[in-house]
Amino acid sequence: MIFKENNNAAPTDKFEKAGYDAERKVAFYLKMAFDENPDLLVLHDLRLESGDITAQMDHLIIHQHGLIIIESKSVAGKLSVQDDGQWVKWYTQKSGKDKSVGMPSPIKQARLQGQTLMSVLSQGVNENVRPALQTLPVDVLVAFSNHNGGVFIAKDKSQYPEMCPADAADDRVKEILAIRAKKPQDFSLSETNRDKLANYLTKIHKPYQAPVSATNKTYPKQEIEATIKVEQTIAAYTSVENPNSAFGTFASFLTNTLTPQKNQFKHICRKCKSDKLEVRFGKNYYLKCLSCDENNRIDSCCSKCKSLLKIRKDKNLFFAECKNCNSSELFHCNS
Protein backbone atom coordinates (compact mmCIF):
# COMPACT_ATOMS: atom_id res chain seq x y z
CA MET A 1 0.00 0.00 0.00
CA ILE A 2 1.05 3.61 -0.50
CA PHE A 3 2.02 4.87 2.95
CA LYS A 4 3.51 8.27 2.11
CA GLU A 5 2.68 10.29 -1.00
CA ASN A 6 4.83 12.89 -2.72
CA ASN A 7 2.84 16.05 -2.05
CA ASN A 8 5.41 18.47 -3.42
CA ALA A 9 4.14 20.99 -5.97
CA ALA A 10 5.43 20.62 -9.51
CA PRO A 11 8.54 22.80 -9.97
CA THR A 12 8.69 25.47 -12.64
CA ASP A 13 12.30 24.84 -13.65
CA LYS A 14 12.46 22.78 -16.86
CA PHE A 15 15.02 20.25 -15.62
CA GLU A 16 13.56 19.95 -12.13
CA LYS A 17 10.13 19.35 -13.62
CA ALA A 18 11.53 16.55 -15.79
CA GLY A 19 12.83 14.83 -12.67
CA TYR A 20 9.54 15.44 -10.89
CA ASP A 21 7.59 13.89 -13.78
CA ALA A 22 9.91 10.86 -13.76
CA GLU A 23 9.18 10.29 -10.07
CA ARG A 24 5.44 10.59 -10.68
CA LYS A 25 5.55 7.97 -13.42
CA VAL A 26 7.33 5.45 -11.20
CA ALA A 27 4.91 6.28 -8.38
CA PHE A 28 2.02 5.54 -10.75
CA TYR A 29 3.31 2.06 -11.61
CA LEU A 30 4.00 1.27 -7.95
CA LYS A 31 0.49 2.38 -7.01
CA MET A 32 -1.12 0.23 -9.68
CA ALA A 33 0.90 -2.80 -8.58
CA PHE A 34 1.00 -2.50 -4.79
CA ASP A 35 -1.63 -0.07 -3.50
CA GLU A 36 -3.89 -2.91 -2.38
CA ASN A 37 -1.04 -5.09 -1.09
CA PRO A 38 -0.81 -4.72 2.72
CA ASP A 39 2.46 -6.64 2.82
CA LEU A 40 4.36 -3.79 1.17
CA LEU A 41 4.55 -0.18 2.33
CA VAL A 42 5.65 2.41 -0.22
CA LEU A 43 7.02 5.79 0.84
CA HIS A 44 7.56 8.46 -1.82
CA ASP A 45 9.92 11.43 -1.47
CA LEU A 46 11.66 10.49 1.79
CA ARG A 47 14.44 12.83 2.90
CA LEU A 48 16.61 11.84 5.89
CA GLU A 49 19.54 13.58 7.54
CA SER A 50 22.52 11.97 9.29
CA GLY A 51 24.88 14.63 10.55
CA ASP A 52 25.83 16.75 7.55
CA ILE A 53 24.79 14.02 5.08
CA THR A 54 21.36 14.00 3.45
CA ALA A 55 19.65 11.14 1.63
CA GLN A 56 16.81 12.03 -0.73
CA MET A 57 15.02 8.80 -1.64
CA ASP A 58 12.49 9.03 -4.46
CA HIS A 59 10.79 5.79 -3.42
CA LEU A 60 11.31 3.41 -0.49
CA ILE A 61 9.56 0.05 -0.19
CA ILE A 62 9.36 -1.73 3.17
CA HIS A 63 8.67 -5.45 2.94
CA GLN A 64 8.97 -8.48 5.21
CA HIS A 65 12.53 -9.32 4.20
CA GLY A 66 14.09 -5.87 3.88
CA LEU A 67 13.99 -2.55 2.05
CA ILE A 68 14.08 -1.46 -1.59
CA ILE A 69 15.23 2.01 -2.68
CA ILE A 70 14.16 3.19 -6.14
CA GLU A 71 15.92 6.15 -7.75
CA SER A 72 13.98 7.78 -10.59
CA LYS A 73 15.91 9.26 -13.51
CA SER A 74 14.60 11.40 -16.33
CA VAL A 75 16.18 10.29 -19.61
CA ALA A 76 15.16 12.03 -22.84
CA GLY A 77 18.01 10.53 -24.85
CA LYS A 78 20.67 7.93 -24.20
CA LEU A 79 22.06 6.97 -20.81
CA SER A 80 25.22 4.92 -21.18
CA VAL A 81 28.11 3.39 -19.29
CA GLN A 82 31.50 3.69 -20.98
CA ASP A 83 34.12 0.95 -20.99
CA ASP A 84 36.02 2.82 -18.26
CA GLY A 85 32.94 2.82 -16.01
CA GLN A 86 32.03 6.46 -16.58
CA TRP A 87 28.34 7.30 -16.85
CA VAL A 88 27.29 9.61 -19.68
CA LYS A 89 23.96 11.19 -20.56
CA TRP A 90 23.28 12.15 -24.19
CA TYR A 91 20.63 14.59 -25.34
CA THR A 92 19.74 16.38 -28.56
CA GLN A 93 20.28 20.13 -28.75
CA LYS A 94 17.98 22.56 -30.56
CA SER A 95 20.46 22.52 -33.41
CA GLY A 96 19.80 18.81 -33.80
CA LYS A 97 23.27 17.77 -32.66
CA ASP A 98 23.79 15.28 -29.85
CA LYS A 99 25.69 16.40 -26.77
CA SER A 100 27.08 14.22 -24.01
CA VAL A 101 27.46 15.12 -20.35
CA GLY A 102 29.20 13.06 -17.69
CA MET A 103 27.19 12.21 -14.59
CA PRO A 104 27.62 10.32 -11.30
CA SER A 105 26.61 6.68 -11.21
CA PRO A 106 22.88 6.56 -10.31
CA ILE A 107 23.37 3.06 -8.89
CA LYS A 108 26.07 4.30 -6.52
CA GLN A 109 23.84 7.24 -5.65
CA ALA A 110 21.04 4.88 -4.61
CA ARG A 111 23.44 2.71 -2.61
CA LEU A 112 24.76 5.76 -0.75
CA GLN A 113 21.17 6.63 0.10
CA GLY A 114 20.84 3.15 1.56
CA GLN A 115 23.99 3.64 3.63
CA THR A 116 22.64 6.91 5.01
CA LEU A 117 19.31 5.25 5.78
CA MET A 118 21.04 2.50 7.75
CA SER A 119 23.21 5.10 9.49
CA VAL A 120 20.07 6.87 10.67
CA LEU A 121 18.49 3.62 11.89
CA SER A 122 21.64 2.44 13.67
CA GLN A 123 22.42 5.60 15.62
CA GLY A 124 23.19 4.61 19.19
CA VAL A 125 23.02 0.87 18.54
CA ASN A 126 25.24 -1.16 20.84
CA GLU A 127 27.71 -3.77 19.62
CA ASN A 128 25.42 -6.70 20.47
CA VAL A 129 22.69 -5.38 18.18
CA ARG A 130 24.77 -4.01 15.31
CA PRO A 131 25.36 -7.40 13.58
CA ALA A 132 21.63 -8.10 13.52
CA LEU A 133 20.80 -4.72 11.99
CA GLN A 134 23.49 -5.13 9.35
CA THR A 135 21.74 -8.25 8.03
CA LEU A 136 18.70 -6.22 6.94
CA PRO A 137 18.90 -6.28 3.11
CA VAL A 138 18.68 -2.96 1.25
CA ASP A 139 18.21 -3.49 -2.49
CA VAL A 140 18.35 -0.64 -5.00
CA LEU A 141 16.80 0.02 -8.40
CA VAL A 142 17.28 2.87 -10.87
CA ALA A 143 14.12 3.42 -12.93
CA PHE A 144 14.70 5.59 -15.97
CA SER A 145 11.85 7.20 -17.89
CA ASN A 146 11.58 6.07 -21.49
CA HIS A 147 8.51 7.98 -22.67
CA ASN A 148 10.74 10.52 -24.48
CA GLY A 149 12.84 7.90 -26.19
CA GLY A 150 15.11 7.34 -23.22
CA VAL A 151 17.30 4.24 -23.49
CA PHE A 152 20.02 2.67 -21.38
CA ILE A 153 23.12 1.50 -23.24
CA ALA A 154 25.89 -0.72 -21.89
CA LYS A 155 28.20 -3.30 -23.46
CA ASP A 156 26.88 -5.90 -21.01
CA LYS A 157 23.55 -4.91 -19.46
CA SER A 158 23.60 -8.00 -17.25
CA GLN A 159 26.25 -6.22 -15.16
CA TYR A 160 23.68 -3.60 -14.25
CA PRO A 161 20.59 -5.48 -12.99
CA GLU A 162 19.65 -2.41 -10.95
CA MET A 163 18.74 -0.51 -14.14
CA CYS A 164 15.20 -0.81 -15.50
CA PRO A 165 12.66 1.24 -17.47
CA ALA A 166 10.14 3.07 -15.30
CA ASP A 167 7.25 0.96 -16.57
CA ALA A 168 9.08 -2.21 -15.47
CA ALA A 169 9.89 -1.02 -11.93
CA ASP A 170 6.97 -2.93 -10.39
CA ASP A 171 8.04 -6.17 -12.09
CA ARG A 172 11.62 -5.75 -10.86
CA VAL A 173 10.33 -5.19 -7.34
CA LYS A 174 8.39 -8.45 -7.54
CA GLU A 175 11.53 -10.25 -8.69
CA ILE A 176 13.50 -8.90 -5.73
CA LEU A 177 10.75 -9.94 -3.33
CA ALA A 178 10.75 -13.46 -4.71
CA ILE A 179 14.53 -13.73 -4.38
CA ARG A 180 14.57 -12.38 -0.82
CA ALA A 181 11.74 -14.67 0.26
CA LYS A 182 13.85 -17.71 -0.67
CA LYS A 183 16.91 -16.58 1.26
CA PRO A 184 17.18 -17.29 5.02
CA GLN A 185 16.97 -14.15 7.14
CA ASP A 186 18.27 -13.46 10.64
CA PHE A 187 15.07 -11.58 11.29
CA SER A 188 12.01 -10.40 9.39
CA LEU A 189 9.70 -7.43 9.71
CA SER A 190 6.22 -8.41 10.83
CA GLU A 191 3.21 -6.49 9.54
CA THR A 192 3.01 -4.51 12.78
CA ASN A 193 6.66 -3.57 12.70
CA ARG A 194 6.59 -2.65 9.01
CA ASP A 195 3.89 -0.18 9.87
CA LYS A 196 5.85 1.17 12.84
CA LEU A 197 8.99 1.55 10.76
CA ALA A 198 7.06 3.44 8.09
CA ASN A 199 5.58 5.72 10.73
CA TYR A 200 8.99 6.36 12.22
CA LEU A 201 10.60 7.24 8.90
CA THR A 202 7.68 9.51 8.00
CA LYS A 203 8.06 11.40 11.26
CA ILE A 204 11.81 11.96 10.86
CA HIS A 205 11.37 12.97 7.21
CA LYS A 206 12.98 16.37 6.65
CA PRO A 207 11.22 18.16 3.77
CA TYR A 208 13.50 20.29 1.65
CA GLN A 209 13.21 23.94 2.59
CA ALA A 210 14.70 26.69 0.48
CA PRO A 211 16.75 29.26 2.42
CA VAL A 212 14.42 31.73 4.12
CA SER A 213 14.95 35.44 4.43
CA ALA A 214 15.27 37.21 7.75
CA THR A 215 11.66 38.36 7.48
CA ASN A 216 10.34 34.83 7.22
CA LYS A 217 9.70 32.53 10.12
CA THR A 218 11.85 29.45 10.59
CA TYR A 219 10.30 26.03 10.85
CA PRO A 220 10.20 24.20 14.17
CA LYS A 221 12.07 20.94 14.56
CA GLN A 222 9.92 17.85 14.03
CA GLU A 223 9.30 15.80 17.13
CA ILE A 224 9.50 12.07 16.92
CA GLU A 225 6.46 10.63 18.62
CA ALA A 226 6.88 7.02 17.73
CA THR A 227 9.61 4.47 18.05
CA ILE A 228 10.17 1.29 16.15
CA LYS A 229 10.95 -2.21 17.08
CA VAL A 230 12.16 -4.92 14.76
CA GLU A 231 11.25 -8.53 15.30
CA GLN A 232 14.19 -10.89 15.06
CA THR A 233 13.46 -14.56 14.59
CA ILE A 234 15.95 -15.50 17.30
CA ALA A 235 14.72 -12.94 19.82
CA ALA A 236 11.61 -12.28 21.85
CA TYR A 237 9.05 -9.80 20.60
CA THR A 238 8.82 -7.48 23.59
CA SER A 239 6.72 -4.42 24.30
CA VAL A 240 8.11 -0.91 24.55
CA GLU A 241 8.82 0.14 28.11
CA ASN A 242 9.02 3.88 27.49
CA PRO A 243 6.87 4.92 24.50
CA ASN A 244 6.63 8.54 25.62
CA SER A 245 10.25 9.52 25.21
CA ALA A 246 10.37 12.79 23.26
CA PHE A 247 13.00 11.70 20.77
CA GLY A 248 13.03 7.91 20.89
CA THR A 249 15.28 6.42 18.21
CA PHE A 250 15.08 3.29 16.15
CA ALA A 251 18.27 2.23 17.89
CA SER A 252 16.56 2.17 21.28
CA PHE A 253 14.11 -0.41 19.96
CA LEU A 254 16.88 -2.44 18.39
CA THR A 255 18.80 -2.48 21.64
CA ASN A 256 15.74 -3.68 23.53
CA THR A 257 14.36 -6.15 21.01
CA LEU A 258 17.16 -7.55 18.87
CA THR A 259 19.19 -8.71 21.85
CA PRO A 260 18.06 -12.29 22.48
CA GLN A 261 15.57 -12.50 25.32
CA LYS A 262 14.89 -15.39 27.63
CA ASN A 263 11.66 -17.24 27.01
CA GLN A 264 9.55 -16.83 30.14
CA PHE A 265 7.14 -19.64 29.24
CA LYS A 266 7.96 -23.20 30.36
CA HIS A 267 6.16 -26.01 28.60
CA ILE A 268 5.86 -29.49 30.17
CA CYS A 269 3.60 -32.28 29.02
CA ARG A 270 0.81 -32.89 31.53
CA LYS A 271 1.02 -36.66 30.92
CA CYS A 272 4.70 -37.62 30.74
CA LYS A 273 6.27 -34.37 32.04
CA SER A 274 8.52 -34.11 28.97
CA ASP A 275 9.64 -30.68 27.83
CA LYS A 276 9.86 -31.78 24.17
CA LEU A 277 6.79 -30.09 22.75
CA GLU A 278 5.87 -28.07 19.68
CA VAL A 279 2.97 -25.79 18.85
CA ARG A 280 0.44 -27.12 16.36
CA PHE A 281 -2.91 -25.92 15.09
CA GLY A 282 -6.24 -27.72 15.00
CA LYS A 283 -9.36 -25.74 15.86
CA ASN A 284 -6.98 -23.68 17.99
CA TYR A 285 -3.29 -23.68 18.81
CA TYR A 286 -2.15 -26.45 21.14
CA LEU A 287 1.07 -28.09 22.33
CA LYS A 288 1.88 -31.53 20.96
CA CYS A 289 4.18 -33.68 23.09
CA LEU A 290 6.84 -35.28 20.89
CA SER A 291 7.58 -37.92 23.52
CA CYS A 292 4.15 -39.41 24.24
CA ASP A 293 2.00 -37.77 21.51
CA GLU A 294 -0.28 -36.13 24.11
CA ASN A 295 -2.15 -32.97 23.15
CA ASN A 296 -1.82 -30.14 25.68
CA ARG A 297 -4.22 -27.22 25.76
CA ILE A 298 -2.74 -23.71 25.81
CA ASP A 299 -4.37 -21.63 28.50
CA SER A 300 -1.62 -19.19 29.48
CA CYS A 301 -2.68 -15.89 30.99
CA CYS A 302 -1.15 -12.43 30.95
CA SER A 303 1.05 -11.85 33.99
CA LYS A 304 -0.27 -8.29 34.34
CA CYS A 305 -4.02 -8.37 33.70
CA LYS A 306 -4.60 -12.15 33.85
CA SER A 307 -6.43 -12.14 30.50
CA LEU A 308 -6.11 -15.20 28.29
CA LEU A 309 -3.24 -14.75 25.84
CA LYS A 310 -3.73 -15.09 22.09
CA ILE A 311 -1.14 -17.06 20.10
CA ARG A 312 0.29 -15.55 16.92
CA LYS A 313 2.52 -17.46 14.47
CA ASP A 314 5.49 -16.04 12.55
CA LYS A 315 7.31 -18.81 10.68
CA ASN A 316 8.56 -21.20 13.40
CA LEU A 317 8.05 -18.66 16.18
CA PHE A 318 4.90 -18.33 18.28
CA PHE A 319 4.08 -15.23 20.32
CA ALA A 320 1.69 -14.86 23.26
CA GLU A 321 -0.11 -11.53 22.93
CA CYS A 322 -2.38 -9.61 25.26
CA LYS A 323 -4.66 -7.06 23.60
CA ASN A 324 -5.50 -5.40 26.91
CA CYS A 325 -1.86 -4.67 27.74
CA ASN A 326 -0.74 -4.31 24.11
CA SER A 327 2.12 -6.72 24.83
CA SER A 328 3.71 -9.58 22.96
CA GLU A 329 6.21 -12.14 24.24
CA LEU A 330 7.95 -15.13 22.72
CA PHE A 331 5.87 -18.18 23.67
CA HIS A 332 7.58 -21.03 21.86
CA CYS A 333 9.94 -21.82 18.99
CA ASN A 334 9.35 -24.99 16.96
CA SER A 335 12.68 -26.54 16.06
**Each residue of 146-170: pLDDT tens digit?**
666 678 888 888 899 999 999 999 9
pLDDT for residue 214 is more than 70: no
Q: Classify residue 307 as left (phi > 0), alpha (psi -120 to 50) or beta.
A: beta
Asked which of 8-12, 30-34, 42-46, 331-335 is least confident by mean pLDDT, the reply is 8-12
How much is the pLDDT for 252?
Answer: 57
Q: In what order do the strands lie in the sheet with 66-73?
A: 2-4, 41-50, 53-63, 66-73, 138-144, 163-165
Classify 332 as helix, strand or coil: strand
DSSP secondary structure string for all residues of 242-273: -TT-TB--HHHHHHHHTS----------TTT-
Which residues are CB-contacts of 171 (< 8 A; sequence separation ≥ 6)?
164
How much is the pLDDT for 71?
Answer: 94
* Cα–Cα distance list, 133 to 25, 218, 220 (Å): 32, 35, 31
Q: Which of 204, 183, 157 lies closest to 60 in space, CA to CA?
A: 204
pLDDT for residue 172 is more than 90: yes
pLDDT for residue 218 is more than 50: no
Which residues are CB-contacts of 214 (< 8 A; sequence separation ≥ 6)?
none
Provide the mean pLDDT of the chain: 79
Domains of the chain: 2-186 (3.40.1350), 262-333 (2.10.290)
How much is the pLDDT for 326?
Answer: 76
Which residues are CB-contacts of 193 (< 8 A; sequence separation ≥ 6)?
228, 229, 230, 231
pLDDT for residue 199 is more than 50: yes
Q: Classify residue 196 as left (phi > 0), alpha (psi -120 to 50) or beta.
A: alpha
Count the residues in the chain.
335
How much is the pLDDT for 323?
Answer: 83
Beta-sheet pairing, 285-289 with 277-281: antiparallel
Regarding predicted confidence, which is higher, 252 or 326?
326
**Cβ neighbour number for residue 126 with a 10 Å cutoff:** 11
How much is the pLDDT for 256?
Answer: 52
